[in-house]
A and B are shown apart, each in its own frame.
Chain A
Amino acid sequence: MVWRPTLPTKDNNVRLEVRKTYKLYIGGAFPRSESGRSYVVNDAKGKFLANASQASRKDARDAVVAARKAFGGWSGKTAYNRGQVLYRIAEVMEGRHEQFTLEVAASEGLSASKARAVVDASIDRWVWYAGWADKLAQVVGSSNPVAGPYFDFSLPEATGVVAVLAPQDSSLLGLTSVIAPAIVSGNTVVAVSSYERPLPAVTLGEMMATSDLPGGVVNLLTGSASEIGPWLASHLDVNAIDLCGISDAEEARELEALAAENLKRVRRPAAEDWSESPGMSRLTQYLELKTVWHPIGV
């Protein structure tokens, strides 16, 4: 008698569930944490959802190296091109709408319709920031009247590597709202996702890897912001840090003190409603103004 494999049918449903092992997103690749650690992610009701990698300080260090490597290429692209890439992220997200909705619903304990609205808002936010890419210089930059034979103008340029401790509560809309304004102007980002709700961030990383975003422009670490935060805050190759994922005021103050060593731009944590129109404050947070004096009439 010839052996035949048992195929799943309606009656003998033997198909095994594919259990996913979530990993980090560093430099366009998906490595496990260097530390080998992982942690259990539960849904809003406390039921097991998945295991996620718990990033260590060395993962953060590797992510900063990747972000620094990507900075030259990304900030050197034309603003128009960056806008297209951000718009493409929104496009690819649209295709993954269902998956994002399920994950946001499970992580944040929202109903399906509310979760869908959150995903919609996140996609719209990418589009909104994408539109800013080639308008930022006109709005923020200026030509300056000077008392001399010079054409004097100021232009915004990217600050460099931005560390982001993402919001703990809003796992997708919040994350989008802190990453997009940093990268649209040419910065590269190392983000630590929400600790208890990392799945939308992991999926965002998987989605970015298949969009047009160059590897290393966004690096996503899942794990504890309190553990990784100090290493990013004191890292001399990080140029700015967003502390919005830190709720403890004393802890935020300590991180700010560490960040002072190389005069990082620091965004302090504040109560924010992510569903509201974001305004320009995050957009202009990670910019350096370059002023040029160009001789005329000589």
Chain B
Amino acid sequence: MDLWIARTPTAGIRIRLPSVTTLDSGVDSLADVTSSEDRLRRFLLGLPGVDQVGAEARAATLSTRSIKTTAKAYALDLAIRMIDLTTLEGQDTPGKVRALCAKAKRPDPADPSAPQVAAVCVYPDLVATAKHELRGSGINVASVATAFPSGRSSLAIKVQDTKDAVAAGADEVDMVIDRGAFLSGRYGLVFDEITAIREAAGDAHLKVILETGELVTYDNVRRASWLAMLAGADFIKTSTGKVSPAATLPVTLIMLEAVRDYHETTGLHIGVKPAGGIRTAKDAIKYLVTVNETAGPDWLDPELFRFGASSLLNDLLMQRTKLATGHYPGPDYFTLD
């Protein structure tokens, strides 16, 4: 069974099989997979296991690539354009969000050629503030929702949380999955929740946070990725940033493989967003190399790949300044956030 899924080896060596349009084992389409919880479970548990050693070795190999000069300049600007500039603290104030929005619009006041970031990511109650600050700039406002970061409340509250964010003007909604349900094997519950939030989010872009640090195994990451994509996610996102470990390169690699295979099966492009723990330009470039080598150049686009980060932006700007001026810059010359 699962002939088409046999195209998901982990170590990056892609075994090319002839395109298969009809799936084996009585599953005629992906829609059929989601027709009942039983089928969904069979499908998810039937996904091939992740070669842990292979995935980690592949990620380590990809992170040794040397990206220099013009390629580096391109990568730095691309990484800036992919940032969801994030502030998710209990102490966030409207003033802090306004400052962040100013930075999103003009990351380097000394250099107008520095591109804008993709979005600003805040808690739902600050969406209106961010929306007001960013009007006319083309920068999206993303809001976390669904009882972020734990996701521990009833579906009704999660739906209302989402509706509030969208009503306040959020262009993108970052939801968390119910990890407790996922880890206890209640895949149908997780699926139904994502579908409900998908509906509540309306036209807003839906990013589904898997919180891979709590899923423990790579196999679970692969299953959760497929589950989220089948339930209608526009993006799958690694982490809330509140749990350690947050985003890692091997986890992102596995999620990128999942979106690649989903694309080959359905023709749909799903985005990936690693979040948390990516602080240096060097790290960001490692991720971009992995995106290009795993999912392909289509994903080298803010529409399909994002970084959830805040301090990363300053490091990217400093590297950019180094390339432009030839001198090492210092953090004193960039805004604190």
Q: Which listed residue (B328, B329, B331) contacts A231, Cβ 8 A?
A: B328
One of A8-16, A28-36, A232-240 contacting the partner: A232-240
**Cβ-based interface call for B26 (8 A):** no
In the complex, A254 has a CB within 8 A of chain B: no
Contacts of B330 in A (CB 8 A): 68, 235-238, 262
Docked-complex contact A237 and B332, CB < 8 angstroms: yes
Q: Mark A55-88, 1 if CB is under 8 A from B, else 0.
A: 0000001001000100000000000000000000
A161 to chain B, nearest CB (A): 9
State whether the Cβ of B135 lies closer than 8 Å to any Cβ in chain A.
no
B332 contact set on A, CB distance < 8 A: 236-237
Chain A residue nearest in CB terms to B327: A234
B310-337 CB contacts (< 8 Å) to partner A: 326-333
Q: Is B328 within 8 A of A61, CB to CB?
A: yes
Closest Cβ neighbor of A234 among chain B residues: B327
Interface bracket on B:
under 10
Question: Which residues on B sit within 8 Å (CB–CB) of A68?
Answer: 330-331
Does B327 lie within 8 Å of A237, measured CB to CB?
no
When chains A and B are docked, how far (Å) is the Cα of A235 from the Cα of B332?
12
- How long is the Cα–Cα vector from A236 to B326 in the complex, in angstroms? 11
Q: Is A227 in contact with chain B by the CB < 8 A criterion?
A: no
Q: Which residue in chain B gives the minimum CB-CB distance to A60?
A: B328
Q: Is the interface of B mostly helix, strand, loop or mixed?
A: loop
A68 to B328, CA, bound (A): 14
Q: Give, as a whole number of angstroms, the nearest-CB distance from A62 to chain B.
A: 11
A63 to B333, CA, bound (A): 19
Which of A237, A258, A261 counts the most chain B CB atoms within 10 A? A237
Partner of A234, one of B328, B331, B333: B328
Contact mask for chain B residues 209-250; partner A; CB cutoff 8 A; 1 contact, 0 none: 000000000000000000000000000000000000000000
Contacts of B333 in A (CB 8 A): 236
Task: Write the chain A residue with the least CB distance to B321.
Answer: A236
Q: How far is the CB of A228 from chain B (nearest CB, A)?
A: 12
Residues on the B chain within 8 Å of A261, using CB: 327
| A227-271 Cβ-contact flags toward B at 8 Å (1 or 0) | 000010011111000000000000000000010011000000000
Q: For the complex, what is the distance from the CA of A33 to the CA of B333, rounded to whole Å?
A: 28
Q: In the complex, what's the smallest C-beta–C-beta distance from B72 to chain A, in angstroms? A: 14
Chain A residues near B328 (CB-CB < 8 A): 61, 64, 231, 234-237
Residues of B with C-beta under 8 A to A61: 328
Determine how close the nearest CB of chain B comes to the CB of A263; give it in whole angstroms. 12
B326 and chain A: residue at smallest CB distance: A234
Rounded to whole Å, the gap between the CB of A107 and the closest CB of chain B is 31
Taking CB atoms, residues of chain B closer than 8 Å to A262 are: 330
Complex CA distance for A237 and B331, rounded to whole angstroms: 7
Q: Which residues of A contact B331 (CB under 8 A)?
A: 68, 237
Contacts of B329 in A (CB 8 A): 236-237
Shortest Cβ distance from A206 into chain B, in angstroms? Answer: 27
A64-B327 Cα distance, complex, nearest whole Å: 13
CB distance from A153 to the nearest CB of B (A): 26
Interfacial chain B residues near A238, Cβ < 8 Å: 330
CA A235 – CA B330 in complex, angstroms? 7
Q: Most chain-A Cβ atoms within 10 A of its Cβ — which of B327, B329, B331, B332?
A: B327
A45 to chain B minimum Cβ distance, whole angstroms, is 39
Interface residues of B in 109-152 (CB under 8 A from A): none
Can you report 6 residue pairs joining A to B where beta carbons are below 8 Å apart?
A234-B328, A235-B330, A236-B328, A236-B333, A238-B330, A262-B330
Residues in chain B within 8 A of chain A (CB atoms): 326-333
- Chain A residues engaging chain B, CB cutoff 8 angstroms: 61, 64, 68, 231, 234-238, 258, 261-262
**Closest A-B pairs by Cβ, 7 of them:** A237-B330, A236-B330, A234-B327, A235-B328, A236-B329, A61-B328, A236-B333
> With A64-B328, A236-B330 given, can you name 11 additional A-B contacts, CB distance below 8 Å?
A231-B328, A234-B326, A235-B327, A235-B330, A236-B328, A236-B333, A237-B328, A237-B331, A237-B332, A238-B330, A262-B330
